[in-house]
Amino acid sequence: MINYKKLITANRQAKSRLHDEKGNFVGWSKAIHHGSLAIITGIARILFNYRPALPWIAYDAIKIFNETLNSQSHVLEFGSGMSTIWYARRSGTVTSIEDYNPWFLKVKGSIQELGLSNVVYIFANDITSYTKFEKRNGGYDLIIIDGSHRDRCAAEAINIIRPGGAIYLDNSDRSGAPNQQSMVVAETILREFAKRAGAEVTEITDFAPTQMFVNQGLLIQLPR
């Protein structure tokens, strides 16, 4: 028997695959262009285990980072994957944190195979080692929060981001779910920080590679 609700909502707390979990509609232009890319990459992942070498975040966010990162950029990534390789190819340094060992070993193998010498890849076996970092090189230009302990990561990120830098919280629309209190706190921390710092706040509702439904990302862009 076909589960029509799952078919329409992708088993999320959303109106449809074209809405994020806060009720925002993606728009028809993104639905057509980015939706088609998400479907193609999603089918390729399911059928052929093909993983595109892209961050699995909103396509609009990928475009922004592709245009702003350069050989002088320092990136910190909470949660690793194909994104780690993508950031490394566009930045001066990438520090990436992972707490799931089988995935850590898989990504580590890819980094070594590609000879990416500008990646500091860390396996964290506790919350402290996952979320606490020194403010090296004057801080980070981009911090991606897309893994575990997002509230603790957000609290750390606001202390080590550079002036003019950006913080991106992926899946920020899931903050309304009962089991996502960490996301609620993370979003609150970042919004309050943005207000104090006079930072620009952008909510990005869009498809992401391999994800055949839209989600929202929260982008905080600090003034220089």
Buried b (16+ CB within 10 A) or exposed e, 74-111: bbbbbbbbbbbbbbbebbebbbbbbbeeeebeebbebb
Separation CA 124–CA 218 (nearest Å): 25
Average pLDDT over residues 154-160: 96
* Ordered domains of the chain (ranges, CATH): 13-221 (3.40.50.150)
Average pLDDT over residues 26-46: 95
Q: What is the pLDDT of residues 181-217, one digit of tens each?
A: 889 999 999 999 999 999 999 999 999 999 999 999 9
pLDDT of amino acid 4: 47
pLDDT of 135 above 60: yes
pLDDT of amino acid 33: 96
Amino acid at 55: P
- For residue 61, give the DSSP letter: H
Separation CA 146–CA 143 (nearest Å): 10
Q: What is the pLDDT of residues 64-86, one digit of tens each?
A: 999 999 999 999 999 999 999 99
Amino acid at 178: P
Q: Is 28 exposed, middle or buried (0-12, 13-18, 19+ CB in 10 A)?
A: exposed
Q: How confident is the model at residue 133 (pLDDT cuts 50, 70, 90)?
A: confident
150-160 and 181-197 are packed helices; what angle lies between their axes, rounded to 10 degrees? 20
Instruction: Report the percentage of the chain scoring pLDDT > 90.
Output: 83
Average pLDDT over residues 141-170: 96
pLDDT of amino acid 176: 56
Q: Angle 89-173-208 (CA atoms, 0-180°, nearest 5)?
A: 35
pLDDT of amino acid 132: 87
Report yes or no: 96 and 122 within 8 Å, Cβ to Cβ.
yes
Q: What is the pTM of this model?
A: 0.94
Separation CA 23–CA 215 (nearest Å): 10
pLDDT of amino acid 177: 55
Q: What mean pLDDT value characterizes the chain?
A: 92
